[in-house]
Structure 1
Amino acid sequence: MLAAGFAAAFTFASLPASAQAVPGVLRVSAIPDEAPTELQRKFKPLGEYLAKATGLKVVFTPVTDYAASVEGLVNNKLDMVWFGGFTFVQANARSGGKITPLVQRAEDEKFRSVFITASNDIKQLADLKGKTFSFGSESSTSGHLMPRSYLLAAKINPDTDMKRIAFSGAHDATVAAVAGGKVDAGALNISVWEKLVAERKVDPAAVRVFYTTPSYYDYNWSVRSDMNAALKKTITDAFLALDPSTAEGKEILALQRATKFVPTTPANYTTIEAAARNAGLLK
């Protein structure tokens, strides 16, 4: 394993302002598309698994917003980040093409967003005109960019055709805003929606899906392109080796809401980049 003799471990830490590459440490983060406690719970077994696979101390660093995850990787304060498709595109553009996506879940090859409401008056996208609406984070692929893209394709401009739009900051917060009557409708990623329904944290009879988008590529684990090639391969192989027939693999994949991980490439995200530029969200 890499960094032989280094005690593999897994910890959480705060992101220091002047962090530099640390020998023997793999600094990891994720876009905050769910509550920080949920992100940490989901990552803990994966962090322990990656520590064993690489021989490195794996340090998970929560970030305050999507932009911080981009800047952390681009500026060498982080080594690997769980990005949405749009944040990968942003990081790649910000770095001048120096970000490499390693793997994605099989589910991310055909990801979708759902539009939800608690109003009986909303049955299709056209009914959103004159209504209040919540996206997730402004930098979210499945909570903003792609829902906005499909709204524009349906001849609905959220900025001019809706009464008011808001940004909740996270998918579960969007559901809470709709369920609590703060907005008439909202959009979020289908994976979080299905998880909340399965965990009975939302009543689908009270808050329902009225539109599901076509599929698109979404989340991935990305690193800087200058990461040691052997380490990139070790990390990639570790993800690809996760097997639901083992207790460890089953737990990690379930927490990641994945059947398996598969390799990915920058080319998979050209559609998202085009959608971002078309929506004026990427200059």
Structure 2
Amino acid sequence: MSRPALAAALVLALAVPAATRAQPKPVLRVTAIPDEAPNELIRKFEPLGAYLSKQVGMEVKFVPVTDYPAVVEGLAGGHVDLAWLGGFTFVQARRRTGNAIPIVQRAEDAHFHSKFITRPGSGISRLEDLKGKTFAFGSPSSTSGHLMPRYYLLQAGIDPEKDFSHFAFSGTHDATAKWVEGGKVDAGALNESVWKKLVDEKKIDPAKVVVFYTTPDFYDYNWTVRGDLDPKLVQKLKAAFLALDPANPEQKKILDLQRASRYVETRPENYAGIESAARSAGLVKD
């Protein structure tokens, strides 16, 4: 065999394994706003991630972040594909990207509330009693831990910057509850779902911390995809969430961890009220 022919044969022999080598399995990158402790977020997500992996035929990887803005930037930069957002974070993501798409929400998220809490004997029984008190919000970008509580405080004539003796951001809903229970602040506001979980799991003693005000309902959490994600994959993800059935014991475990009775479709228009409240509270400017 001539040298050119031998060289060609070697190239062909080497090329065949390369061509037949298995391609890496595509990865769906998922994140969530850090509204609870990191270990709790991972515990809640693992069964859901395994379920989504089977439904869409992809490896699902959870990408933890340190704060709410990082989730928005992850979607904007194409570093994550699917994100669990609060209503306000969705508004921020939509404004930042122009095309973030909310696909599903828990049925409960169409009628969500914030809870205002204090200790018995604090002298606080209505929002107006908070003047001169210390107060805790959750994260600055939290819908139920900051935006909507701030909005309803302003509606009641309470300006946090002027009327509290001091206020601070705890970072998470469970931390807010602990701050109030431990006397670090006189009162605080948090997500009603987390509040119920903390009471049910006996992580907060309802004899030491009480709810004194519940906001009117509003739209809150959703699962959002980046706008340039493959439409076929988006439909598979939506179908997977909508197929979760509380009558199926394994799927009920997933729903219970997500504190959901079921998932329903959602759309950007559902969050117009959140954006309006954010403008009224001075948290969004055009």
Residue of 130, 144, 158 corresponding to 1:128: 130
Deviations 1:73-96 (Å, cap 9, x if unpaired)? 11101001000000000011011x
User: Given that residues 108 and 260 in structure 2 are in contact (C-alpha distance below 8 angstroms), is that contact kept between their aligned partners in structure 1?
Assistant: yes
Asked if the contact 2:89–2:143 (Cα under 8 Å) also holds between the matched residues in 1, the reply is yes
Instruction: Select which of 267, 270, 286 maps to 1:268.
Output: 270
Matches within 5 A, 1:39-78: 39-78=41-80
Q: Is 1:251 the counterpart of 2:253 in the alignment? A: yes
Hey, what's the Cα distance between the residues in 1 that align with 2:76 and 2:181?
37
1:280 is displaced (CA, Å) by: 1.2
- Report if aligned partners of 1:115, 1:185 keep a CA contact under 8 Å in 2: yes
**1:1-283, aligned counterparts within 5 Å?**
24-95=26-97, 97-120=98-121, 121-283=123-285
- Unaligned runs of 5+ residues in structure 2 are 1-21
In 2, distance between residues paired with 1:160 and 1:42? 38
**1:120-147 superposed Cα distances (whole Å, 9 cap, x missing partner):** 2111101000000000000000000000
TM-score, structure 1 as length reference: 0.91
Residue 186 of structure 2 aligns with an amino acid whose one-letter code is D
**How many corresponding residue pairs?**
263
Q: Distance in 2 between matches of 1:139 and 1:231?
A: 28
- Report the alpha carbon displacement of residue 23 of structure 1 after superposing the two structures with TM: 6.7
Deviations 1:13-59 (A, max 9, x none): xxxxxxxxx97110000000000000000000000000000000100
- The question of whether the paired residues in 2 share the 8 Å contact of 1:244 and 1:253 is answered with yes
RMSD: 1.2
* Superposed structure 1 runs of 4+ greater than 4 Å apart: none
Whether the 8 Å contact between 2:25 and 2:59 is mirrored in structure 1 is no
Higher helix share: 2
**Structure 2: distance between partners of 1:267 and 1:94:** 16
Higher alpha-carbon deviation: 127-136 or 115-124: 115-124
Deviation, structure 1 residue 119: 4.5
Q: Partners of 2:181 and 2:139 in 1: how far apart?
A: 18
Partner SS state of residue 234, structure 2: helix
Contact 1:119 1:184 in 2 (8 A): no
Task: Tell me the distance in 2 between the aligned counterparts of 1:159 and 1:188.
Answer: 19
Q: Percent identity of the aligned residues?
A: 62
* Counterparts of 1:194 and 1:27, CA distance in 2: 29
Cα distance in 1 between the residues matched to 2:222 and 2:90: 8
Partner residue in 1 for 2:5: none
Question: Is contact 1:135–1:187 with CA below 8 Å preserved after alignment?
Answer: yes
